[in-house]
Amino acid sequence: MMEPMITDAMVEEFRQMDTCCLSDAMDRLGIPCGLEGIKPVNPDSALCGRAFTVHYVPCGTVKGTVGDFLDDVKPGEVVVIDNGGRTWCTVWWDLMSIAATHKGIAGTVIDGVCRDLPTVHKLNYNIFTKGHYMVTGKDRVEVDQINVPVAVSGVRVAPGDLVVGDATGVVVIPQEKAARVLEVAKEIAAKEAVIEESVARGVPLREARAKVHYHNLQTREET
């Protein structure tokens, strides 16, 4: 069996990174990554896992399903739903949060909205969305495809890409770029740690930044 491009060990290393550092790393590499407008329902939410993607379309004459795909998601994966940014109907509700929690799913990211926030808060489930709205998606939208490339806030997400979310938002790391992103992110994190330590000792911020060439950390690499 072919080893995945993102190993379990890499997932654990990415889990230690925050989205700001990862965004800076991907800025340097010229990789679009930030999911604009996607925010955690619980402010202290954090997730890191491989993407299980779901694509929704408006219902046709024959109504389709909206949530049965959850049975196919593996523990540790992140459900990434492309609902086309629709905010007028939800594609995630209390029973899905309950089932996902019991299955050990890492969390959910929706280009759209969710509902039943009391359950999300009670379970402390990790869900990142564009907002919340009570109107059901049943008979309004349906699952078109699963585990195909989708788009969230204009950023491509393929099945198996790494999704990382925290209080600041969500970034997506393309699996074929993950090793290089991790390398750059670790370099940036190490240099920022030096700045933090220097400032704590009373070194002026300008001097501390200059010492590690801070202003070049996010500058795009020449290809």
Helix residue spans in 50-157 (DSSP H): 94-103, 117-123
CA angle centred on 74, ends 73 and 76, rounded to 5°? 115
Helix residue spans in 46-204 (DSSP H): 94-103, 117-123, 178-200
pLDDT tens string 106-129? 999 999 999 999 999 999 999 999
Is residue 32 classed as helix, strand or coil in its secondary structure? coil
Helix residue spans in 30-128 (DSSP H): 94-103, 117-123
Helix residue spans in 16-92 (DSSP H): 19-29
Instruction: Please state the rounded mean pLDDT for residues 9-17.
Output: 97
Rounded distance, CA 73 to CA 80, Å? 11
pLDDT tens string 135-175? 999 999 999 999 999 999 999 999 999 999 999 999 999 99
Structural domains in the chain, sorted by start: 32-173 (3.50.30.40)
User: How confident is residue 3, by pLDDT bands cut at 50, 70 and 90?
Assistant: low
DSSP category for residue 56: E
pLDDT of res. 66: 73
